[in-house]
């Protein structure tokens, strides 16, 4: 390229840049003028890494700069990208660690009954801010969750050992919800509440019961992590057996996040090919005994991990991040979250249970109508009955 051509090209780039800069300055000046006239919106220079949804989009304006987003204070309902975590144990802290690396959140509030624990996690996470996308981190109390777009509850007593079922935890953990839910609803009435504490299905139903019986003014949504992690474990074990990248394996676990869950073998596939057909074409053994082994290892994966390292937290942390992404990006992603009001198979509407759902900015938007086999339909109903019996006893 000649020197003359290069100079002309650089001049053209400079002209385009200057034009864009003038337009940006004009938009910023207009916003500042609006603010000086008494608007309750004030511009900040904070940037976030994604375009988030909000309960009331009309309550905020936004303008883009260099792929980022100008944020505004004074939102009527919720702050875009503000996430609060209640409970900074191993699950909460693993989720927080994944979250700050993701660029999804603009603001993170961490709350724990153990103030020293909260302080330590706050400091540890804050020391990593040089290495992650811009985010504000704060340790606080329930009142600091005000205007959160998403509240993740991971507070509670964990399983005491591999022989304790998730359902046995219920009486020890519902008391925590009795204490925190009214205050959370008071300070963040428009938030999506995502529950990770076990037994997750029971606690989602119980949270909705608290809101209903106490007549709390709550305009948000409640959902649980459900069988998102169980399905990921199932897909991993299938990928290992078939020696195929897990991204190409499609399978799901539905029902209780616990002992009564069930695999949907009738719909499991590898890039659209049914498992039996894939096995036949590739000379891979696949029979009822192998299926039983895969599902057994899926269902009891947590017990195996607890017996060796004491708790599970990395994979559930990333599962929560996946749900978070669907909510903050309003992406309409199908995930096996836990929620009430399943419209199919005669499930009691007050039972929260893991089932494929379209998840977006308002939590669970709709359900997918699965074509389950008769055996799978029966198993799903039985799982719901197990949960219903516990819910009725609370």
List, by residue number, the catalytic residues.
257
Tell me, letter by letter, the H, E, C secondary structure of 148-197: CCEEEECCCCCCCCCCCCCHHHHHHHHHHHHHHHHHHHHHCCCCEEEECC
Residue with the two structure tokens 């649980």: 224
How far apart, in whole angstroms, are the C-alpha atoms of residue 257 and residue 335? 14
Q: What is the DSSP letter of 266?
A: G
Are the beta carbons of 148 and 82 closer than 8 angstroms? yes
Cα angle: 148, vertex 153, 154; to 5 degrees: 140
The length of the chain, given as a count of residues: 394
How far apart, in whole angstroms, are the C-alpha atoms of residue 187 and residue 184? 5
Residue with the two structure tokens 């700069």: 65
Are the beta carbons of 332 and 366 closer than 8 angstroms? no
How far apart, in whole angstroms, are the C-alpha atoms of residue 286 and residue 223? 35
Tokens of 84: 């609060």
Are the beta carbons of 330 and 365 closer than 8 angstroms? no
Phi-psi region of 262 (alpha: psi -120 to 50; beta: other; left: phi over 0): beta
Using DSSP, state whether 250 is helix, strand or coil: strand
Using DSSP, state whether 85 is helix, strand or coil: strand
How far apart, in whole angstroms, are the C-alpha atoms of residue 108 and residue 125? 10
Tokens of 318: 């990333």
Tokens of 19: 């034009």
How far apart, in whole angstroms, are the C-alpha atoms of residue 244 and residue 132? 32
Residue 377: in which H helix or E strand, if any? helix 374-393
CB atoms within 10 A of CB 93: 22
């Amino acid at each position: 390229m000649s020197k003359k051509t290069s100079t002309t090209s650089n001049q053209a780039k400079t002209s385009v840049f200057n034009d864009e800069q003038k337009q940006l300055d004009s938009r910023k000046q207009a916003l500042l003028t609006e603010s000086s006239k008494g608007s309750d919106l004030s511009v900040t220079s904070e940037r976030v890494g994604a375009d988030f949804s909000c309960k009331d989009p009309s309550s905020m304006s936004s303008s883009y700069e260099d792929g980022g987003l100008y944020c505004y204070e004074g939102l009527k309902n919720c702050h875009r990208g503000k996430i609060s975590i209640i409970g900074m144990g191993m699950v909460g802290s693993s989720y927080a660690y994944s979250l700050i690396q993701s660029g999804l959140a603009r603001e993170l509030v961490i709350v724990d009954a153990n103030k020293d624990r909260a302080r330590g996690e706050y400091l540890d996470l804050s020391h990593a801010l040089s290495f992650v996308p811009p985010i504000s981190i704060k340790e606080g109390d329930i009142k600091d969750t005000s205007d959160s777009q998403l509240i993740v509850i991971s507070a509670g007593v964990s399983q005491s050992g591999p022989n304790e079922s998730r359902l046995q935890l219920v009486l020890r953990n519902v008391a925590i919800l009795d204490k925190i839910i009214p205050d959370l609803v008071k300070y963040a009435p428009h938030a999506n509440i995502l529950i990770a504490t076990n037994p997750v299905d029971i606690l989602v139903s119980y949270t909705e019961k608290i809101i209903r019986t106490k007549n709390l003014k709550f305009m948000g949504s409640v959902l649980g992590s459900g069988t998102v992690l169980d399905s990921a474990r199932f897909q991993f074990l299938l990928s290992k057996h078939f020696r195929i990248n897990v991204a190409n394996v499609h399978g799901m676990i539905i029902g209780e996040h616990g002992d009564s869950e069930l695999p949907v073998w009738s719909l499991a596939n590898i890039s659209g090919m049914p498992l039996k057909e894939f096995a036949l074409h590739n000379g891979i053994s696949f029979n009822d005994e192998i299926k039983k082994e895969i599902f057994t290892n899926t269902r009891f994966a947590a017990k195996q991990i607890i017996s060796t390292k004491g708790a599970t937290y990395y994979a559930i942390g990333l599962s929560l991040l996946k749900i978070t992404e669907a909510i903050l990006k309003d992406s309409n992603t199908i995930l096996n979250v836990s929620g009430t009001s399943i419209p199919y198979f005669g499930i009691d509407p007050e039972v929260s249970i893991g089932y494929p759902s379209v998840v977006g900015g308002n939590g669970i938007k709709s359900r997918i109508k699965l074509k389950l086999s008769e055996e799978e339909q029966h198993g799903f109903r039985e799982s719901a009955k197990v949960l219903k019996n516990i819910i009725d006893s609370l």
